[in-house]
Structure 1
Amino acid sequence: MWQFMRDNWLSNRVFIDYDDIVAHCCEAWNNLVDKPWKIISIGMRDWAHWF
């Protein structure tokens, strides 16, 4: 999940301070939660079942 959020919503940014980081991470998380099909897709990938 973290990799997907970084690749799609958190990369190539300059954060002003800690609160800005938290705000962007919360926004990214909320964006992901709004896409349950994406969570299912990520969870079904072969590498997710190695453990």
Structure 2
Amino acid sequence: MDAMICGLEGAAAYLDDIRYFGCIINKDGRHSDPEKIEVIRQIPVLKNLEEV
């Protein structure tokens, strides 16, 4: 585990954003990767009880 953390820290010196297991890690913190959640965003919103 320490080697993985050191590897990420070393990579951070060269990259603005790191994509890691569906997340984007940058100077502002960890965020969901928009490419990974795009399908979820496209699910239609149910508007009434019949659609549920």
Q: TM-score, normalised by structure 1?
A: 0.28
- If asked which structure has higher relative contact order (CA below 8 Å, sep 6+), I would say 1
Task: Look at both structures and tell me which one has the larger radius of gyration over its CA atoms.
Answer: 2
Q: Which structure has greater strand proportion?
A: 2
Greater helix fraction, Structure 1 or Structure 2: 1
Structure 2 length-normalised TM: 0.28
